[in-house]
Amino acid sequence: MPPIRTDWVEVRAESDIVHARQLVRRLSSEMGFRLVDQTKLVTAASELARNTVVHGGGGRLSWECIAEEGREGIRLTFHDCGPGIADVQLALKDGWSTGKGLGMGLSGTKRLVNEFEIESRPGRGTRVTITKWK
C-alpha cells in the first residue's frame, strides 16, 4: 500500500533538532499513537536529528505516515552526505562516541522503535531509517 502522507524537512541547524521533535510529536499525536509511544518516537527523532546536524554536517528528515497489513505507523529517514561511519557495529554500542556525546543516541534509538536500519559509507554519508507501529 502506498504511504498516506509523506514529506521532508531540512535538518541542518541546531534549531532544526527542535523542529524535528515538534514535527514528529504532531504527526504521532495526529495519528493517535499512545503517549508513551509518541514520547519514544520523538526522543528517537531528537537523537537522530542531532546526529545528522552534529556528526553528519546537516541533511534531511523524510517522513511517511504508512499503512500496511492492517497496521499504521510512522517511518522516519535521516539522511546526510557527511563523513559517514567507519565502523557501524561499534557506533551502535552503548556509550561509544567519537564526539562529546554520551554515545547512547544510536543504540538507544534502536531500542525505542520497532524497526531500525542504518546504512553508512565513509566519505559518502549516512542514512538511518526507523519505523514505529501504532
Partner 1 sequence: MERIPILRMGKFLLITIQVDMHDTTALALQDDLMAKIARSGARGVLIDISALDVVDSYIGRMIADISMMSKLLHARTVLVGMRPAVAITLVELGLSLRGVKTALDVEKGMELLAAALEDGDAADQD
Q: Please give the residue ranges that form the binding site for ligand ADP (CB under 6 A).
A: 47, 51-52, 55-56, 80, 82-85, 91, 96-99, 101-107, 126
Q: Which residue(s) pair with 117 in the sheet?
A: 129
CB of residue 39 to ligand ADP, shortest distance in Å: 18
Cell of 52: 545528522
Summarize as ranges the residues that interact with partner 1 (CB under 8 A). 14-15, 17-18, 21-22, 25, 35-36, 38-40, 42-43, 46-47, 50, 94, 101-102, 104-105, 107-109, 111-112
Measured from each CB, the residue nearest to ligand ADP is: 101
CB of residue 43 to partner 1, shortest distance in Å: 5
CB nearer partner 1, residue 53 or residue 66: 53
- 56 interacts with Mg ion by CB under 5 A: no
Amino acid occupying residue 46: S
Binding site for Mg ion (CB under 5 A): 51, 101, 105
